[in-house]
Homo-oligomer: A and B are copies of this chain.
Amino acid sequence: MKTTEPNPGLQLDARGRLCHLLTLDGLPRELLIDILDEAEAHDKVLRGQDKKQGTLSGRTIVNLFFEPSTRTRTTFELAAKRLSADVLNLQVSASSTSKGETLFDTLKTLEAMQADMFVVRHEASGAAHFFAEHAAPGVAILNAGDGRHAHPTQGLLDLFTIRRYKGGGVGGPSNDCFKKLTVAIVGDVLHSRVARSDIHGLRILGTKEIRVVAPPTLVPAGIEAMGVKVFHELESGLDGADVVILLRLQKERMMGAFLPSLAEFHRDFGLTRARLAKLKPEAIVMHPGPINRGVEIEGDVAYGPRSLILNQVSHGIAVRMAVMSMILGAPAPAEARSPRSRR
C-alpha cells in the first residue's frame, strides 16, 4: 500500500467544517471544543432509557476493519446504531483481499454501494489518509486506528474525560482547566497511536505539562519535539501529576526485543496500589483498555475509586456519536444540548 504523509487540510472543508477525522494533529482548538460539547449532548441522551436518536436514519456507515478488534468495532457500531444509521461490519482480510482486490478497489466498491462513512482500522500508518485522499466527495473517513500513527476518537474521549473530571464547576465545563494540568502518559509509547493522539489533543488545548514515562526502549526517538518531557523512572514521572494515562502493553508486539520481561515492566512501571497512594489525592487514572492486569496496572487500581477507565468507555460512545453526526451534518437534538462550555 502506498501511504502518504498526513495532510491536515484534508480533514476540513472549504468552510472549515470537519469532513474526515484522521488525526487530531493540526485541528483548530475551537473545533476540538465543539466536538467535546457535542459529545456532552450525546452523553446526556445515553444516560436515559431510550438511547436512540433518528438523526442518521437512511445513512450507511461501514466499519471497515483490516485489523481485528471486536471491542473498538463495537463502540463504533453502537454509536452508529444509536444514531439510527444502517451499519455494515466488514472484517477484511481473508475475503476480498485474498481475492486480489486492492485497498483502492475495496473503497471504490463500497462507495458505489452508497456508503456515507467508512470507519477504518488498519495496521499500516497512513491507511486512513490514503482512503480520505481517494474517497469520492461526500464520503467521509473516520480513522479508528492506523498503525502507530493515530487513534483520534480515543484522543478525544480522553480529553472529554479529563475535561469532565478536572474542568467541572458552575456554568458548564471549562476548557481552561488544561492550562493547569500535568498529564503523565505511562508505558509503551513507542507503539502507541493512543499516546500520539493524546499528546496532539492535549497540546491543542494548552495543557501545562505533558509527560511521557517509559523505559528508554519504549520511547520513540525525538518525541521531545512533540512538546513532551520524557521520564525513564516512574516515581519522578508521576510526581505532581493530575492525570495518569496508562497505555496498554502490546504484549504480542514485544517479542522479547523491547522488554526483559513482563514482570520486570510491572515492577518498574506498573501502577500498583502502593504507587497510587503516592499520587496527588485528586489525581485521576485512565487507560484505553483492555487492561493487562498485573502488567501495566493492578486489577484493584483499575476498578478503584480514582480510576475512570469505565467512564472512558461510556464517553467513547458519546464522542463517536458526536464525530459521526458532525461530519454527516446532523447535530444532536436541541433538548439534549447543555450550555456551551466556557472557552
Q: Which residues of A contact B (CB under 8 A)?
A: 46, 49-52, 57-60, 68-71, 74-75, 77-78, 81-82, 86, 88, 90, 92, 94-96, 99-102, 105, 108-114, 251, 289-293, 303, 310-311, 313-314, 316-317
In the complex, the answer to whether A77 meets B81 with C-beta atoms within 8 Å is no
List residues of chain B with CB within 8 A of the CB of A82. 58, 60, 86
List residues of chain B with CB within 8 A of the CB of A75. 113
List residues of chain B with CB within 8 A of the CB of A100. 251, 290, 292-293
Given the known interface contacts A96-B290, A112-B311, the answer about A59 and B70 at a Cβ–Cβ threshold of 8 Å is no
CB distance from A194 to the nearest CB of B (A): 15
A-B contact pairs, 8 of them (CB 8 A): A49-B58, A51-B86, A70-B92, A71-B109, A78-B88, A105-B289, A105-B290, A112-B310
Given the known interface contacts A86-B82, A90-B74, the answer about A59 and B51 at a Cβ–Cβ threshold of 8 Å is yes
Q: How far is the CA of A71 from the CA of B98 in the complex (A)?
A: 12
List residues of chain B with CB within 8 A of the CB of A313. 109, 112-113
Question: What is the chain B residue whose CB lies nearest that of A101?
Answer: B290
CB distance from A178 to the nearest CB of B (A): 24
In the complex, the answer to whether B95 meets A88 with C-beta atoms within 8 Å is no
Q: How far is the CA of A101 from the CA of B290 in the complex (A)?
A: 6
CB distance from A161 to the nearest CB of B (A): 12
Q: How far is the CA of A114 from the CA of B314 in the complex (A)?
A: 7
Question: What is the chain B residue whose CB lies nearest that of A252?
Answer: B99
Q: How far is the CA of A169 from the CA of B96 in the complex (A)?
A: 37
CB distance from A259 to the nearest CB of B (A): 15
